[in-house]
Chain A
Amino acid sequence: MLRVGIVGLGKMGLSHQSMINAHPDVKLVAVCDSAAYVLDVISKYTGVKTYSDYQAMLSKEDLDCLFVATPSRNHAAIVETALQRGLHVFCEKPFGLDPEKSFQLAELAESKGLVNQVGYHCRFIAAFTEAKRLLEANVIGELHHLRAEAYGPVVLRPQGSTWRSQKSEGGGCLFDYACHAIDLINYLVGCPRGVSGTVFNSVFSNDVDDEIYSTLHFSDRFHGQLATNWSDESLRKMSIKLSLWGKNGRINVDRQEIQIYLRTLPQPIENLTQGWNVRYTTELTQPVWFYVRGEEYSAQIDHFFQTVKNGGSSASNFRSASNASLVAAMMRKDAAREHTAVVAQGADNPETLNRPKGQKSYLERVFGGRS
């Protein structure tokens, strides 16, 4: 029996707690949070031991693994302490806000031979794993373009009082929706070597970005586009979709299904035919031992425990998560640069999009506008 602790009982921590507690190979020993009322309820009704200080929990309890689901800003310090104590660590995404620190933690975990995983659960969605398998089998040939989109309803009003609405806490669409999409891109085709034309835009938030658009450069002949927006009410929950174009066809993939178009079928590949092929989640998804909110959430937790038991490296480890943080940091840097845009005919000087506050844009000067 692996002995498990959890730090952070928000939406993710509680959902992890439910699945961990139902796992037959592990024992949930203790949980930690700063909110007294949450601890009160949890201890009274589920009987698990509670702490309000994670250091105290780590010194008093004999644990094998720690789940970290605090606001992102606290991840690094807690993860480091846990690794120093020799614990296997599962950390919620986006892992670290600072890629340099993230890579250091990846090295620390690897040097100590500890299993390390980050909750990029999209890697455990059957349709995306199928996409990865088909891309590795090169079924659509040499890739030349991809489009990654993630939309959903998180910030729909000009308010918000949690850490998710504060940049300093790791809030914003970048470290939430965009990181999921970035990690999925990295998982399927590898990291882009550069990004350009990145736009961060606030729709409702004061302090953080609500949508991000960016061009990704994988090689001279392979580019992609990322579009993420967490202020889209037309969807019930996050919807993430990738479209990939290769010289021999195209793949569209989301949580529910994978569509594969093949121009030619040079040699027989499984059940694929020339033209369109569609596979649904109902046939691709492997059963899980316990289901709360999607197989992928259960599957990632089971994968973590099996990796601890059997050895090896997690399919979503600190290193791969650091790569996602790195690409996110590249986007932030790119967006902060002075961008020169090509403007409408008749403009004497190119306008800068990031003009100083108060200065009118070219269009405002020509057509009028609020100053």
Chain B
Amino acid sequence: MAALTGSTNLKATYRESMDRILFGDNQFFGVNHMSEEKARTQAMRFQDIGAVIDVLDDVYAEGIRTFMCTTHERMQEVCDHFRANRNRYPGFKFYPCMPYAHKYANAAAERGVVGAFRSFLPEENALGALLRGGMSVARKDIEGLAALLIDAEMKMFAGLETPVVFLQNVVTDFLLGLGFDEAFRTFADHVRERYGAEPGFITMNAPFLLQRLEKIGIENPILCANINKIGFRMCGGGEAYEKLMTGGRCRLIAMSVFASGALPPQRALEYVCQYPQIQSIVFGASSRRNIAQTKQLIERLTPSEVAAQA
């Protein structure tokens, strides 16, 4: 549950106590890091949004209450369903992850960088007009642009519970590399002020990101990062991650714990669960059996002090 807590920078902010188990959405959108064939099979199965909702019904029935999902345009229909059937899903919440970057990357190749942004902004907007006419980008403009883009991505979640809003890894890590730290601050502020939500950051470079977030005063951030026994996409190396997982300076969500299926579930989860500071584990699955088994395994392996916090 979200709790209103005092904060040092005068603003009251929500502090979300995240569930131990979060459900992810890669399988719904043809993302599989191991096999294109598997990805396509999944894309076909979930072409009908009804099939996605069936799985989410299973997820709910198994007692999982958080769905961490990309702001893919197809998510609109899922959101519509949850809005229309609110009573069937008490306590269910969404963790939106934005943006769905391929949308922007493809548009950038087709229309250029500015053209891409323009195409995702409301036509009538003054900033849109500025961009169309070319502009000098003052600080306020960039903040305004970021706010508009965030609002555009959040629109589909209107009326649903979204206590944490994430910046997708491709954007987080791109900005991190550029040294565009201000953008993290802008994102965090807007998400807090406009949505009363906590900002979260998905990253493949968690140790490096934490350093930079602390530098701009974002303390104890929610980070969602690959954490798996084989070190797949854990940039910065095992030692730095070890420090992160034991340092107590961030709230961690482990993703890709099975390294896209390269690791057997028991071994994979034993590894992640040995770190009590990992608060949550996000996983995706397509069958009720798989969902139930993974959930049971996580619960069995979760140390009691972690279970008590969740």
Q: B residues touching A (Cβ–Cβ < 8 Å)?
A: 29-36, 102, 105-106, 108-115, 134-137, 139, 142, 170, 173-180, 182-183, 204-205, 208, 230-237, 259-262
Contact = CB atoms under 8 A, between A and B. Distances in A.
A46 B178 contact: yes
B169 to A, nearest CB: 8
27 contacts: A18-B173, A18-B175, A18-B177, A18-B178, A21-B177, A22-B176, A22-B208, A35-B114, A36-B136, A37-B134, A154-B110, A161-B112, A161-B115, A162-B110, A236-B30, A237-B105, A256-B35, A257-B36, A280-B262, A282-B33, A282-B230, A282-B259, A282-B262, A287-B234, A287-B235, A290-B177, A292-B174
A44 B139 contact: yes
Most chain A Cβ neighbours within 10 Å, of B178, B182, B230, B261: B178
A215 interface: no
Given A162-B112, A290-B235, A41 B35 contact: no
Interface in A1-50: 9-11, 14-15, 17-19, 21-22, 35-38, 40-42, 44-47
A17 B177 contact: yes
A40 B130 CA distance: 15
B170 A292 contact: yes
Contacts of B179: 21, 45-47
A41 B231 CA distance: 35
B113 A10 contact: yes
B180 A46 contact: yes
A364 to B, nearest CB: 33
Interface string A261-289: 00000000000000000001111010111
Given A37-B137, A254-B36, A291-B205, A11 B177 contact: no
Contact of B174 (A18, A36, A161, A239): A18
Contacts of A370: none
Given A18-B178, A45-B142, A38 B110 contact: no
A164 B230 CA distance: 40
A291 B235 contact: yes
A300 to B, nearest CB: 15
A250 B261 CA distance: 25
A298 to B, nearest CB: 8
Contacts of B237: 287
Contacts, number: 138
Given A162-B112, A287-B235, A290-B208, 6 more contacts: A10-B108, A18-B176, A35-B114, A37-B136, A161-B112, A237-B106
Interface string A148-186: 000001111100111010000000000000000000000
A223 interface: no
A290 B178 contact: no
Contacts of B259: 282
B205 A40 contact: no
Main secondary structure on chain B at its contact with chain A?
helix
A139 B245 CA distance: 43
A217 interface: no
A147 interface: no
A299 to B, nearest CB: 12
Contacts of A241: 36
Contact of B235 (A37, A236, A288): A288
A293 interface: yes
Contacts of B102: 236-237
Residue among B113, B173, B236, B262 with most chain A CB within 10 A: B113
A127 to B, nearest CB: 11
A255 interface: yes
Nearest to B114: A37
A295 B35 CA distance: 16
B109 A164 contact: yes
B178 A256 contact: no
B222 to A, nearest CB: 19
B36 A41 contact: no
Contacts of B33: 256, 281-282
A37 B134 CA distance: 8
Nearest to A16: B177
B34 A280 contact: yes
Contact of A41 (B137, B261, B262): B137
B284 to A, nearest CB: 16
B262 A256 contact: no
Contact of A40 (B30, B35, B137, B208): B137
B142 A285 contact: no
Contact of B111 (A44, A160, A281): A160
A45 B182 contact: yes
B268 to A, nearest CB: 12
A231 to B, nearest CB: 11
Nearest to B177: A18
A256 B36 contact: yes
Contacts of B135: 37
A363 to B, nearest CB: 34
A353 B122 CA distance: 46
B173 A291 contact: yes
A42 B175 CA distance: 11
Contacts of A164: 109-110
Contacts of B111: 160-162
Interface string A335-349: 000000000000000
A162 B235 contact: no
Given A15-B174, A280-B262, A287-B237, A38 B34 contact: no
B217 to A, nearest CB: 17
Q: Closest 8 interchain pairs by CB?
A: A18-B177, A282-B262, A291-B204, A22-B177, A40-B137, A291-B235, A11-B108, A46-B179
Given A18-B177, A45-B182, A293-B170, A153 B106 contact: yes
Interface in A207-262: 236-237, 239, 241, 254-257
Q: Which of A11, A14, A283, A292 has the largest count of B CB atoms less than 10 A from its CB?
A: A292
A282 B264 CA distance: 13
Contact of B110 (A160, A281, A282): A160
A321 B189 CA distance: 46
Contacts of B208: 22, 290
Nearest to A289: B235
A236 to B, nearest CB: 6
